[in-house]
């Protein structure tokens, strides 16, 4: 018992300053997410000069629940970081990877795409605000990716009483987390009744719900299987990201499919209380180009990690 207690004390004392700072930032970010969630729900009780779009309430509530979920995960991870738990290092690396990809995605779209129906001053102000909204999380994500891959940080989490090292590569963990996040997001599409877009076509009502349900169940199954290093999940993941790459390529490169998607977007946004100031064609092009790159990158990492799925399953 004495040796274990001393090991715990030494481990806590040797916690790098960057890890402590990261945990504090994660706590603050979690609190901010809870504030956003509360503000989003509160906005539903504020009267607006124009009627809200259909299904606004369900969309806002689901978005708020996702913020609450992120906040809980962030607080849970922060506690693990303070205690130098190896799973907390993996958790923050996965989140940092997702945060970096999402922030970079937002910057590429909303900074490079033309903005219409606004004055030059308003456009510059809007771009500056967007740059801060996406730029700050991107900087934090890059900081975490560097901080938690340094030799000193790895050594701090590698104590004699820590859990055994996982045979699962970090890239597979990040891909699995992305799949699980995508599967949960499909629930938002079902409850808010958002149309489903597939190969330039638009599906509404119960058809869209079935598509979201199938895609959500599949990606959740893939994500769980990847975490358990199941070979069938590895095969399904490559097939899923291959399908995503083909879909993104066709919609981007085939003019009729892209045009059908643009028309569907116009129909979907025409009931919005305010016009969308961004060039929808550019947004769609950039979105699908990035989606294709992400899918191809995921396939590359999965193929590189093939040996991890060779008869090794994590219960």
pLDDT mean across residues, the chain: 79
Give start and end residues of each alpha helix (H) in 148-279. 151-157, 170-191, 205-227, 231-253, 255-269
pTM of the predicted structure, to 2 decimals: 0.69
Report whether 104 contacts 77 (CB < 8 A): no
Between CA 265 and CA 260 the distance in angstroms is 9
Domain boundaries, the chain: 14-155, 166-315
Report whether 26 contacts 92 (CB < 8 A): yes
Between CA 161 and CA 21 the distance in angstroms is 24
Burial category of 183 from C-beta neighbours within 10 Å (exposed 0-12, middle 13-18, buried 19 and up): buried
Q: In 10 A of CB 17, how many CB atoms?
A: 8
Q: In 10 A of CB 54, how many CB atoms?
A: 11
* Listed range (19-33, 147-161, 207-221) with the worst mean pLDDT: 147-161
Burial category of 206 from C-beta neighbours within 10 Å (exposed 0-12, middle 13-18, buried 19 and up): exposed
Burial category of 7 from C-beta neighbours within 10 Å (exposed 0-12, middle 13-18, buried 19 and up): middle
Burial category of 73 from C-beta neighbours within 10 Å (exposed 0-12, middle 13-18, buried 19 and up): middle
Between CA 23 and CA 200 the distance in angstroms is 43
How does pLDDT run across 288-314, given as a tens digit for each residue? 778 888 899 999 999 998 888 876 555
Between CA 283 and CA 197 the distance in angstroms is 15
pLDDT of res. 240: 94
Is the pLDDT at 242 greater than 60, yes or no?
yes
Q: Rounded to 5 degrees, what angle do the CA atoms 106, 115, 140 make?
A: 25
Q: What is the CA radius of gyration of the chain?
A: 22
- Residue 278, helix vs strand vs coil: strand
Q: 281: which 2 tokens?
A: 């064609």
How does pLDDT run across 175-204, given as a tens digit for each residue? 898 898 888 888 877 877 777 888 767 788
User: Residue 6: which pLDDT band, with cuts at 50, 70 and 90?
Assistant: very low
Measure Cα distances from 200 to 38, 252, 288, 291 in Å.
36, 10, 12, 15
How does pLDDT run across 87-121, given as a tens digit for each residue? 888 889 888 888 888 888 878 777 766 666 556 66
């Amino acid at each position: 018992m004495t040796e274990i207690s001393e090991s715990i004390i030494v481990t806590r004392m040797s916690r790098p300053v960057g890890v402590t700072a990261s945990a504090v930032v994660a706590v603050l970010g979690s609190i901010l997410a809870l504030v956003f969630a509360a503000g989003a729900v509160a906005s539903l009780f504020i009267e607006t000069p124009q009627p809200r779009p259909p299904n606004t309430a369900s969309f806002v509530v689901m978005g708020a629940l996702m913020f609450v979920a992120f906040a809980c995960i962030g607080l849970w991870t922060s506690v693990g970081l303070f205690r130098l738990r190896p799973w907390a290092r993996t958790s923050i690396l996965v989140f940092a990877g997702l945060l970096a990809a999402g922030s970079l995605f937002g910057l590429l779209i909303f900074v490079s795409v033309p903005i219409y129906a606004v004055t030059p001053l308003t456009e510059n102000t809007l771009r500056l605000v967007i740059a801060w909204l996406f730029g700050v999380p991107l900087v934090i994500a890059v900081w975490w990716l560097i901080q938690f891959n340094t030799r000193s940080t790895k050594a701090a989490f590698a104590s004699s009483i820590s859990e055994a090292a996982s045979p699962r590569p970090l890239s597979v963990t990040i891909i699995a987390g992305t799949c699980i996040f995508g599967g949960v997001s499909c629930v938002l599409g079902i409850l808010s009744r958002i149309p489903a877009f597939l190969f330039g076509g638009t599906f509404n009502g119960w058809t869209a719900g079935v598509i979201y349900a199938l895609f959500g169940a599949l990606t959740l199954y893939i994500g769980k299987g990847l975490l358990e290093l199941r070979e069938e999940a590895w095969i399904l993941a490559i097939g899923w990201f291959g399908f995503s790459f083909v879909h993104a390529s066709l919609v981007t490169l085939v003019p009729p499919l892209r045009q059908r998607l643009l028309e569907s977007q116009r129909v979907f946004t025409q009931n919005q209380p305010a016009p969308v100031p961004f060039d929808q064609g550019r947004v769609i092009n950039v979105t699908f180009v990035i989606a294709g790159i992400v899918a191809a990158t995921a396939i590359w990492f999965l193929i590189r990690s093939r040996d991890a799925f060779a008869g090794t399953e994590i219960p």
